[in-house]
Structure 1
Amino acid sequence: MAGSITDQTTRRAVIGGAAAVGAGAVLAACGAGSDSGSTSDPTDAGSTGGDTGGSAGDALAKTSDIPVGGGKIFPNQKVVVTQPAEGEFKAFSAVCTHQGCIVAAVVKDTIECNCHGSRYSAEDGSVKKGPAPAPLAPKKVTVEGTEIVLG
């Protein structure tokens, strides 16, 4: 008998199960520490010959690698370095404060997370557009000669 209660219950169970699986996949992509959702290639996001391991005292990049008014993301170290003005280097955690995705790009004066559209200031890490609830945490970098050093 087409359209029986058994057929309808089975359809509901299948549709409900598929929706739950889809929702689980979306949540997993946004989980803490996940690189999922990031469309940037780590080699395009700032990995350089100086991209060493991220411990304090390691050179992240050469100063010439960070464009004025832009920046680079170092996903292995979970750091983003910006140069808001000539010779002024800033660094922040590259972990979005919304769901823990690694930010994807630095465009003009904005650090962008592609997971849910959060945007941060490249100048001070403050939230420019949510859903991020808090700014990116500042990180300490110093310039030693022509190298930018973490810590």
Structure 2
Amino acid sequence: MTPYVRPERRISRRTLLGSAGLAAAAVGGLSACGGGGDGGAGSSSGGSAGPVSAKTSDITVGGGKVFAEGQAVITQPAAGEFKAFSSICTHAGCPVADVTSTINCNCHGSKFSITDGSVVNGPATQPLPARTVSVSGDTVSVS
């Protein structure tokens, strides 16, 4: 019986460079959602954590607003009660998208409480970190 001999296979330069480009794009795409894993302190686009201020009238009662530039979300669970949280999802480091009756991350469907930032719907298992909020007159500020 004659042993099988694998024919020599050559990869063209074009194929090699194309494959390397696809691999780089895949790694870049995966890293866009941040550090991965729960408690992820991954980076996100849209600025860095910093001070934010808004008019109290801009924050709806029973809802809230996301401030991408300061990586903050301000909510008003009850009239005159303002809360603030990090706007970076603890599941994969994506920025949260919007606030309805919950704080919503569109990357993987996590939802957080507007009252305390706790997880309402996974896959996240860690709450959104609270931020310091203060109200002066008709201005709400987050630091």
TM band (smaller chain): 0.7 to 0.9
**Residue aligning to 1:67:** 60
Pairing partner for 2:44 from 31, 34, 46 = 34
SS of the aligned residue for 1:64 comes to helix
C-alpha distance in 2 between matches for 1:127 and 1:79: 17
CA contact (8 A) 1:66 1:81 kept: yes
TM-score (norm 1): 0.70
Q: Which runs of 4+ in 1 moved over 3 A?
A: 4-7, 13-23
C-alpha distance in 2 between matches for 1:19 and 1:117: 27
Q: What's the Cα RMSD here?
A: 2.8
**Deviation of the 1:89 alpha carbon:** 0.7
Which amino acid is the alignment partner of residue 28 of structure 1?
A: S
SS of the aligned residue for 1:80 comes to strand
**C-alpha offsets along residues 20-45 of structure 1, whole Å, 9 cap, x if unaligned?**
44542431221222228xxxxx9xxx
**Deviation of the 1:104 alpha carbon:** 0.9
C-alpha distance in 1 between matches for 2:30 and 2:123: 15
Pairing partner for 1:137 from 126, 129, 137 = 129
**Deviation of the 1:93 alpha carbon:** 0.8
TM-score (norm 2): 0.73
Alignment CA distance shift 1:133-1:17 (3 Å): farther
Matches within 5 A, 1:112-131: 112-131=104-123
- Higher Cα Rg, which structure: 2
Identity %: 48
Matches within 5 A, 1:75-86: 75-86=68-79
CA contact (8 A) 1:71 1:106 kept: yes
In structure 2, runs of 5+ residues without a counterpart are 1-6, 35-41
CA contact (8 A) 2:44 2:88 kept: no
SS of the aligned residue for 1:139 comes to coil
